[in-house]
Chain A
Amino acid sequence: MKPLLLILCLCAWFSPLQAAIEAYEFDSPQMEADYNKLIDELRCLVCQNQNLSGSDAELAQDLRRETYQMLSQGKSPQQVVDFMVERYGDFVLYRPRFISTTYLLWLGPFLLLLAVLVILVRRLISTRSPEAVDPEAIARARQILENKEPNQ
């Protein structure tokens, strides 16, 4: 029982809910929405499976501040994204751009689905159409069925 309790306590300790979110004042609801969308879609590079909004790392705090400052200077969300990609590469984007290196990433699942559909349809068609059977074998089978005991 005790180890279980300890594990539960540790889980609570490491919970992302601990991440501190700074209180920023926004000029408009639109700016707040842009800010929240951006920090949800930008990745924290220190704790790589967290976005900026979920991470308490120093770098995430700095990048949230940078995002806020750029938006309050009137920069568009796209300019913020470009700023981040310029410095940290496409890896900062949780929603990868549609560029030559990511075509496979975006289109791969659909290609796979298409391939499976093609295989499925071909298989269904081949089971529908009866296989060509040697007419002699059919004749012999008929003979066996009609004369119940052909060998006697």
Chain B
Amino acid sequence: MNRFVLPLIGFVFMVGLLGYGLRLDPKLVPSPLIDKKAPPFSLAMLDQPSRQLSTADMIGQVWILNVWASWCVSCRAEHEVITVLASRNLVPVVGLNYKDESADAERWLRQFGNPYATSVIDRDGRVGIDWGVYGVPETFVIGADGLIKYKHIGPVTHESLEQKIMPVLKELLG
């Protein structure tokens, strides 16, 4: 009897370990940017290409950067939730129009509605690389101190808005 005990313990341990591993989502790569300074950019605005918005302009207020593109299907799914978030008027939601054609992007905003305070153009995705973007949509919460407080990968759902993003915002806004 006794000689079965050790292998059984080992087996149960392995099942537990592998079972835990199965529940993790391999698509969620923890961002090294959390609590780091938001990578600076200065980009032309989609609605007024002659004007630029830079990260320095946003220092002193809590804000959200939402990475989107007209070619991104999940962004459509998320659009409704971003609209809800923006309509609460808690913080400005800035769009980062990632690797998109401006004409397509403007048509997309007309078609679905524009929840963004403004969108800036990252035509070649260079700013996306600085922000560690690898799957559109992505959503960042940036504190008044200019540090990235939270990163959401993939479409924001109503559930993740209430359970993940709102608590972070509430804490930052005090």
Interface residues of chain B, those whose CB is within 8 Å of chain A, are 26-27, 29-33, 39, 99, 124-126, 128-132, 134-135
Contact = CB atoms under 8 A, between A and B. Distances in A.
Chain A: interface size category: 10 to 19
Given A58-B125, A62-B125, A85-B32, 18 more contacts: A46-B134, A48-B26, A58-B99, A59-B134, A62-B124, A62-B128, A63-B129, A87-B32, A87-B39, A87-B129, A87-B130, A87-B132, A88-B32, A88-B134, A89-B29, A89-B30, A89-B31, A90-B32
Contacts of A66: 129
A63 B128 CA distance: 11
Interface in A1-15: none
26 contacts: A45-B29, A45-B135, A46-B134, A46-B135, A48-B26, A58-B99, A58-B125, A59-B125, A59-B134, A62-B124, A62-B129, A63-B129, A86-B32, A87-B32, A87-B33, A87-B129, A87-B130, A87-B131, A87-B132, A88-B32, A88-B132, A88-B134, A89-B31, A89-B32, A91-B29, A91-B30
Nearest to B39: A87
Interface centre among B29, B99, B124 (most CB of A within 10 A): B29
SS of A interface (majority): helix
Contacts of B30: 89, 91
B29 A88 contact: yes
Interface in A56-79: 58-59, 62-63, 66
Nearest to B30: A89
Nearest 4 A/B pairs, CB to CB: A45-B134, A87-B132, A89-B32, A91-B29
A88 B31 CA distance: 6
B114 to A, nearest CB: 25
Contacts of B131: 87
Contacts of B27: 48
B134 to A, nearest CB: 4
A45 B153 CA distance: 12
B29 to A, nearest CB: 5
A88 B33 CA distance: 8
A66 B133 CA distance: 14
Contacts of A86: 32
B154 to A, nearest CB: 12
A46 B132 CA distance: 12
Interface string A113-124: 000000000000
